[in-house]
Structure 1
Amino acid sequence: MVSLTGWWHRRSDPARIELYTRSSFYFFALSEMAVLGGSLASGVTSAGPRLGLLGLAAVHAALCAVLQARGLDWLLGRRERPVRLLAAVATLSVGGAAAALALRSGSSLLHGVDVSVLVVGLFAYGLGAMVLGIRGTRPMLYGVLGAAVGMGAVCALLGLPGPTVAGFAAAVLVASGVMVLTSGCSVWLLSVVWELDAARELQSQLAVAEERLRFGRDLHDVMGRNLAVIALKSELAVQLARRGRPEAVEQMIEVQRIARESQHEVREVVRGYRRADLAVELAGALSVLHAAGIDGTAEGDDGSALPPEIQAALGWVVREATTNVLRHSEARSCVIRLSTGPSAVLSIDNDGVPEPAGSGISGSGLNGLRERLATLGGTLDAESRAGAFHLTAGVPLPRPEVPATVAQQSGPVV
């Protein structure tokens, strides 16, 4: 079953919505052939006009399908605007409708009801496809109104009665309006979904860039002054050495001291950068999840009573897991739980996993967390099933030391 549905699970939510939207547009082409072909097959009394109009409907449906596919790519910024296809569909829609009306008026080969279905169908399906080649609500509205007015003008030029002219114009207006509204809303929804996905990815990139800037700023603040002092004292030592002054040795000793202090301060900056505070990471994770539109909640202990090294290790788990939720899933909810007892157990559950991958999931980030927890005797387990991801980190807590006097008092009495 997984092999049959893997092509679907491997897609992201925006890709699934796009596939559904494209399939809907292709269904429009099939429905056009079914509606127009069915009416023509039973309503045309002569084989010649029947085959000609069936061929017209087939070519029109095929052009609309190609226009919808390429127009959707254009609206998503993947290719140029299909101007020639737009002109071809518009010409075929208007020309085919006019030809059918002319045949209906000039001979008895067509029945009126069949001409109505053909004419209205050509305009409705044609405008529904042309929507994907234009942008903006006004051009869509003008297209629908123009089709209705043009249909009425053609009918009037062919000498049809007033009620027939009004009926054709109203039918084209209603049917075209429904098709344009349906196609336009589908395209708008798909565009919004892709824009939200792009904004989500951009937010992750900005968070990483902001962290890099912070680290660079902290490192500059620490090293800037010390390097300036080292450069100044080194230059002074050079001048004193050239003059044979014994103070040059003292200046170089001072340079050595400052260099060692700088090395210590850099280590502190890196250690502070690498050390993750559990409370801060929990608050930051919830903030980022909410900003990304994910329902994030934290349950259980707040971890404030845990030893600092365990808080740091679990804080890194929270940070890495939150990054994975944002980058590798289409999550709608994420629950973070922390329980303390003989061990501190942190579990993170989220939905929206594209493809079931079973247990034993590995990766550079998860492997790094396993190594970090292993130094404290902890473990990390990751599992993905049924579209949900479950991450569990456990670290044993140190036993409280019992004072010697208490141990003696609680011992056996002989």
Structure 2
Amino acid sequence: MARVRTTTGSWTGKSKPAKVEIYTRWSFHSFAAIEVGLVGLPALSRTGSPAGGWFLLLVSAHAIVAAATSSYALSWALGRRARPIRLMAATAVLTAAGSVAAMSQFPRDPNVGEAESAAYLLVTFAGFGIGALVIGLRRVRSMLLTVLAAMVVVGLAGLGYRLPIGALLGGWLGVLTAGLALTFTCGFSVWLVKSVWDLDSARELQTRLAVAEERLRFGRDMHDVMGRNLAVIALKSELAVQLVRRGGTEQAAEQMAEVQRIARESQREVRDVVRGYREVDLHTELEGARGVLEAAGIGFQLDLEGAGAPAGATVEGAGGLPGLTPEARSALGWVVREAATNVLRHGDARDCTVRLAVREGRDAVLVVENDGLPEQGVLARVGSGGTPTTAGAGLAGLRERLATLGGTLDAGPVAGGRFRLTARVPLPAPEAAESAESAEAAEAAEAAAGSAGSTPSVHTATARPVSSEPLSDEVTA
């Protein structure tokens, strides 16, 4: 039997596409049990011995081969193995042989009981055989031709046995009905499994493309920031070398001082780019979470009471969340982003509630709660007390990010079949917050003053003393 792509061994730990595939695969396998239990065993008593024993053996062999064909053909349809040509040929031969044998049991006189028994055998062989064969076909035309071939075999067998026209038409009608029904059922089931896997692959590809796009954006930002400055540094350094060789040491010193200034300016700009890359905005993340969750059919409720906004206020009405420091807003923004992603990926949530509160101006508490419990494989990575132990990189990364601010992160199931994620970030005293804001304002003013003047040309520079600060400082983010 073909393997099923899955992440873990237990049913609860499997992905949703894997569950759909397993359900479909075992639905095909159930046809074998139905064939043997409801048709093969009754044939043993209806047709008598030893003919009944031979029919039971033929039905059992047909059921086993058809089940194997269904399993391998499904794996072929999903692109995991070659088409099972030999198994399909064996299924076709056993189906034809069983149908011909079933036609031999049709009575020459209108005996209703014997006619029904033979009809059961015929429909079983033809219907389940066609259902197994169409799984290994791609085109609908080929599937319909399989049904037509089965009707031709039944017609030729009926003519060979010289059956009455009524029995022959009844056999045709039974094969046509069972063949079309199982063709539609099996063909649609395979298409559904393929579609689910394709959607899952498309979602993974979309995630990779988003990461690649973000890397390209970051690369463009770095090029825009550093490209011009590095070109100017190279030109001015070359000019300084030429001036030194000609004895113009004073002019060379001026050029190198300008090189030092541009290098430090580039250092500051790189810090700004990396800081913007790493930081997120809580306002944007809350609105983004609302949009993606509502688009997925998940209700979203936001409560910003105690965070500088009245109960039930929207993000716009929160006035930029004045009760939170920039560091806290950035850290909680990452929590909202990861929590919204987990709601979409794990469990089948119908509603999600986000509560943000500032407790007595000392702690910022963000609670994200939804009614969709993650799969068992995810819950197994959450320790007692709701603290992640060996959770994935998402929760582990959030805990590390909050720990740098002295915060904590708790996650786990709660009463009522809900899942809750709680993030706590301590806030500085009001005096410390004002000092930090003043320092940030001063740094911003200094950066604006430093970039107010245009970069001097290569051939002229304003005289300034050479700074004694080293140029080998590493750029930090």
TM score, norm. by length of structure 1: 0.86
Structure 1 unaligned regions, length at least 5: 402-414
Query: Displacement of 1:269 after TM fit?
Result: 0.5
Q: How does 1:132-211 map to 2 (within 5 A)?
A: 132-211=135-214
Query: Displacement of 1:118 after TM fit?
Result: 1.4
1:338-362 per-position Cα deviation (integer Å, ceiling 9, x unaligned): 3223143222234251213242214
Question: d(CA) in 1 for partners of 2:159 and 2:418?
Answer: 63
Counterpart contact for 1:354–1:387, Cα < 8 Å: no
Instruction: Mark the CA change 1:340 to 1:130 in structure 2 (over 3 Å): closer, same or farther.
Output: same
Counterpart contact for 2:100–2:153, Cα < 8 Å: no
SS for the counterpart of 1:347 is strand
Counterpart contact for 2:244–2:252, Cα < 8 Å: yes
Q: Does 1:51 align with 2:53?
A: yes
Partner of 2:398: 369
Instruction: Mark the CA change 1:205 to 1:334 in structure 2 (over 3 Å): closer, same or farther.
Output: farther
Partner of 2:463: none
Q: How does 1:253-268 map to 2 (within 5 A)?
A: 253-268=257-272
Partner of 2:98: 96
* Count of aligned pairs: 393
SS for the counterpart of 1:60 is helix
Query: Displacement of 1:266 after TM fit?
Result: 0.3
Instruction: Mark the CA change 1:349 to 1:209 in structure 2 (over 3 Å): closer, same or farther.
Output: farther
Partner of 1:115: 118
Greater shift, 62-71 or 36-45, is seen at: 36-45
Question: d(CA) in 1 for partners of 2:369 and 2:137?
Answer: 43
Q: How does 1:15-414 map to 2 (within 5 A)?
A: 15-47=18-50, 49-102=51-104, 111-246=114-249, 247-289=251-293, 293=296, 295=298, 297-301=300-304, 302=315, 304-305=320-321, 306-325=324-343, 329-333=346-350, 335-342=352-359, 343-350=363-370, 351=372, 353-355=374-376, 356-357=379-380, 358=383, 359-362=386-389, 363=391, 364-384=393-413, 389-397=419-427
> What residue identity is the alignment partner of 2:116?
V
Question: d(CA) in 2 for partners of 1:288 and 1:212?
Answer: 22
Query: Displacement of 1:220 after TM fit?
Result: 1.1
Counterpart contact for 1:294–1:331, Cα < 8 Å: no
Greater shift, 331-340 or 10-19, is seen at: 331-340
Greater shift, 293-302 or 232-241, is seen at: 293-302
Counterpart contact for 1:353–1:387, Cα < 8 Å: no
Query: Displacement of 1:257 after TM fit?
Result: 1.0
Instruction: Mark the CA change 1:285 to 1:220 in structure 2 (over 3 Å): closer, same or farther.
Output: farther
> What residue identity is the alignment partner of 2:367?
S
> What residue identity is the alignment partner of 1:344?
A
Question: d(CA) in 2 for partners of 1:74 and 1:332?
Answer: 34
Counterpart contact for 1:282–1:298, Cα < 8 Å: no
> What residue identity is the alignment partner of 1:155?
G
Partner of 2:460: none
> What residue identity is the alignment partner of 1:279?
H
Question: d(CA) in 1 for partners of 2:424 and 2:153?
Answer: 73
TM score, norm. by length of structure 2: 0.75
**RMSD after superposition:** 2.8
Question: d(CA) in 2 for partners of 1:68 and 1:6?
Answer: 23
Greater shift, 193-202 or 260-269, is seen at: 193-202
Percentage of matched positions with identical amino acids: 51
Counting helix residues as a fraction of each chain, which structure ranks higher? 1
Counterpart contact for 1:105–1:158, Cα < 8 Å: no
Question: d(CA) in 2 for partners of 1:53 and 1:81?
Answer: 29
Structure 2 unaligned regions, length at least 5: 1-7, 305-314, 432-477
